[in-house]
Amino acid sequence: MLTRPLRVVVLLSGRGSNLRAIVEAALPIEIVAVIGNRPQAPGLAYARESGLPTFALDHTAYADRVAFDARLADEIERHRPGLVVLAGYMRILSPAFIERFEGRLLNIHPSLLPAFPGLKTHERALAEGVKIHGCTVHFVTATLDHGPIVAQAAVPVRADDTPAVLADRVLAQEHRIYPQAIRWFAEDRLVHDGGKVNLAGGSGSQSVLTV
């Protein structure tokens, strides 16, 4: 049983829909800071309206990625988080940053990794003619979008899909599985085993949610 909520820092760049899903899930966590690299990000406005501590750190004010990430890491550490959550954070993280938080750094990606890492995942899925698409929660490592998988959700790809329509269907599943993955982390149920993540109390296989 948890004696106190898990301290969580959320990083975002945009509208904050995954942050909203996390907040509304009423998880056993305390969001101690929401940090955005774009001062005008709607997600920061939502966080402020929700009474969450916010901090805007404009990446364009720094000479390079390493300098920005060092400042960002210092700001995160100030809040003493047990978990750092990337919720639509649209920047590639430097190796030094990842090393500093590895094992307590979660991301959600809009594809069924290892398929379609990087950007424009929905356009690429449609171009390849795949029949299922989806999203993945994973731990962040130095290899872009290839960290150990915590949970996935699949959606059907329909013949009349556009990238926007498919993105909306995937986003609904992001809002479902990201809070669940964070809950598992907070409950200390995620077990690392040889580069894979198993769910304690489950079947011993990777945790996969499908629809």
Q: Which residues are catalytic?
A: 109
Name 99's Cβ contacts closer than 8 Å, sequence gap at least 6: 142
d(C-alpha 188, C-alpha 186), whole Å? 5
Q: Which H or E run includes 190? A: strand 190-193
Task: Supply angle C-alpha 88, 133, 124, rounded to 5.
Answer: 75
Q: DSSP string of 101-170?
A: HTTSEEEEESS-TTSS-SS-HHHHHHHHT-SEEEEEEEE--SSTT-SPEEEEEEEEPPTT--HHHHHHHH
How do strand 132-139 and strand 105-109 relate by DSSP bridges? antiparallel
Q: In what order do the strands lie in the sheet with 6-12?
A: 54-56, 29-36, 6-12, 83-86, 105-109, 132-139, 149-156
- For residues 49 and 164, what is the distance between their CA atoms, to the nearest angstrom? 28
